[in-house]
Structure 1
Amino acid sequence: MDVTPLVPQGRQVIEAYGDNGFRISGVRYDGSVLVLPDRTLNWAVATSEDITAESLVPVTDHEETELLLLGFGKRPVMLSQAFRDTLRSKGVSLEPMDTGAASRTYNVLLAEGRRVAAALIAVE
């Protein structure tokens, strides 16, 4: 039985992660990525310390984003309330988790038609 979520054509689906990169809709990306429903961007972030509100502007300025899944690599990191409030002021709710969980959750929410994006730190 196929349990792959049905995703509308042209949407970005995270197919695999690891080896310091991702395979998204058939394309290999090295390093960390920002995944929006309509495109994937390389993200110049290697650790949680590199994440700033400015590094997330392509996601927070995207009109389709209501929920951002933030994949911190192998373990989630607690974020300050000030950081969460900054994103919320732009209309984006934040869910921190490990990269694997964020990748899987993104695909499910995308298939449900949710206005979701993912910021994913690459893992080995």
Structure 2
Amino acid sequence: MQLSLNRPGEYLFVRKVGATAITVVDRDLARSFILAPDRAIEEWPVCDVNALDESAVGPILALAPAVVILGSGPRIVFPSQAVLATFLKRGIGIEVMDNAAAARTFNVLAGEGRRVVAAFVLPAG
């Protein structure tokens, strides 16, 4: 089996996940943000999964994802059923994970060329 180094260059990816910041390519983001393979929406005004509502998910929906990965922080916290239904009614899959798992999943799906969007919740700081 031949191995080759494949560095992501055509899409944004998460390099590192910490307790208070996430590194996207080479930039540390310390506030909640939304990440698509081709763009990042910084300073997404959500500091707690329980604060998610229709206005907070609007920027995610505007990116027309096929699947959404919600990084809920250092542990898994599910949003309300109403928020989950907002995605499911539009035929958009949503998976809730801790931020580290969300980053790994986003990187794999973006690398496969999927229409994925990840929303990472970080504590206000």
TM-score range, shorter chain: 0.7 to 0.9
8 Å CA contact 2:21–2:30 kept in 1: the answer is yes
Which residue is equivalent to 2:100?
Answer: 100
User: Aligned runs of 1:101-116 on 2, under 5 Å?
Assistant: 101-116=101-116
Which residue is equivalent to 1:18?
Answer: 18
Q: CA deviation at 1:90?
A: 3.0
8 Å CA contact 1:74–1:98 kept in 2: the answer is yes
Stretches of structure 2 that go unaligned for 5 or more consecutive residues are none
3-state DSSP of counterpart to 2:47: coil
1:63-90 CA-to-partner distances (Å, cap 9, x unmatched) read: 3x11000011122123443322211233
Number of residue pairs matched?
Answer: 122
Which residue is equivalent to 2:51?
Answer: 50
Q: Which entry has the higher C-alpha Rg, 1 or 2? A: 2
Stretches of structure 1 that go unaligned for 5 or more consecutive residues are none
Normalised to the residue count of structure 1, the TM-score between the two structures is 0.83
Separation (CA, whole Å) in 2 of partners of 1:57 and 1:91: 15
Separation (CA, whole Å) in 2 of partners of 1:88 and 1:105: 19
Normalised to the residue count of structure 2, the TM-score between the two structures is 0.83
